[in-house]
Amino acid sequence: MNIMVTNDDGIHAAGIRALAEAMTALGTVTVVAPDRERSAAGHSLTLHSPLRIFEQHKGWYAVDGTPTDCVNMGIHNMLPITPDLVVSGINHGANLGDDITYSGTVAAAMEANLMGIPAIAFSLATFAPSNHFTDAALMAVQIARQVIANGLPADTFLNVNFPDCPQDKMLPPLITRQGKRSFIGKIVDKTDPRGRKYFWVGSEEPHLNDEPGTDFHAINRRHVSITPLHLDLTNHKSLPILAEWTF
Ligand code: MN
């Protein structure tokens, strides 16, 4: 097995070290990750500046771009063969509900999925300091084993969230759907030392609706959450409604 590992917290993050190390149980691991934190980069590509690769040590490459750049660079320029699996994470912070649309972690898996490569995004559901990345990484290997053994349905990649606890305290994975955020927009508004106003997008814990069957509901109850995602953003239920419009 050839496994490519990336993330959006940057190549020096604890989560990618734990994930890359754990994945060596399944095969050869190559890390291609941003050279610094690129959280909330979404699915952005760098189009207006060049990209450079910095080899950190054997099999570990930092790129001065986004997570999506890393997947592109890794697959098209750096890995000798197409990887069998791309894993992204383990993100420091949940990627649940509507928040996944901002996520560089999820976008990296999305990019691999666009290239037809099985892909999984992993996140640890806490923004507080945590020493459970290794616990989560061991669970990540179990999930990756299932993906390798069974394959994924067409056009599907996985968004996995782990509760922030030791592995023996995590409850078994539940297959979930993407939940809904109750949006509490928070922009901090302050004045800098020179008297100018500045604004900072808030980073409070997401407020998500605790509905059964959702990613958030599972994580709230200490289950591992596995949500199958796809890239068809069409709202199929609205097609017949809009078809009634006349122009
Ligand atoms: Mn991140």
pLDDT for the residue numbered 137 = 98
pLDDT band at 203 (very low <50, low <70, confident <90, very high): low
pLDDT for the residue numbered 76 = 95
Check whether domain 2-181+209-243 has CATH 3.20.20.140, yes or no: no
pLDDT for the residue numbered 12 = 98
All residues with CB under 5 Å from ion ligand 1: 8-9, 39, 91
What share of the chain has pLDDT > 90, as a percent? 92
Is 184 a residue whose pLDDT tops 70?
Answer: no
**Model pLDDT for residues 143-158, shown as the tens digit of each residue:** 999 999 999 999 999 9
pLDDT for the residue numbered 186 = 79
Average pLDDT of span 173-200: 90
Q: How many whole angstroms from 42 Cα to the centroid of ligand 1?
A: 10
Is 204 a residue whose pLDDT tops 90?
Answer: no
Q: How many whole angstroms from 37 Cα to the centroid of ligand 1?
A: 7
Q: How many whole angstroms from 192 Cα to the centroid of ligand 1?
A: 27
Q: How many whole angstroms from 127 Cα to the centroid of ligand 1?
A: 10
| CA dist., res. 137 & res. 194, Å (int) | 46
Q: How many whole angstroms from 126 Cα to the centroid of ligand 1?
A: 11
pLDDT for the residue numbered 181 = 81
pLDDT for the residue numbered 202 = 72
Output the DSSP codes for 59-128: TEEEESS-HHHHHHHIIIII-SS--SEEEEEEEES---GGGGGT-HHHHHHHHHHHTT--EEEEEES-SS
pLDDT for the residue numbered 187 = 86
**Model pLDDT for residues 56-96, shown as the tens digit of each residue:** 999 999 999 999 999 999 999 999 999 999 999 999 999 99
Q: How many whole angstroms from 41 Cα to the centroid of ligand 1?
A: 9
pLDDT band at 196 (very low <50, low <70, confident <90, very high): very high
Task: Note the pTM of the prediction, 2 decimals.
Answer: 0.95
**Model pLDDT for residues 86-132, shown as the tens digit of each residue:** 999 999 999 999 999 999 999 999 999 999 999 999 999 999 999 99
pLDDT for the residue numbered 87 = 98
pLDDT band at 228 (very low <50, low <70, confident <90, very high): very high
| CA dist., res. 61 & res. 184, Å (int) | 38
Q: How many whole angstroms from 166 Cα to the centroid of ligand 1?
A: 21
Is 213 a residue whose pLDDT tops 80?
Answer: yes
Is 206 a residue whose pLDDT tops 70?
Answer: no
Domain boundaries, the chain: 2-181+209-243
CB atoms within 10 A of CB 232: 7
Closest CA to 140 of 180, 99, 93, 173: 173
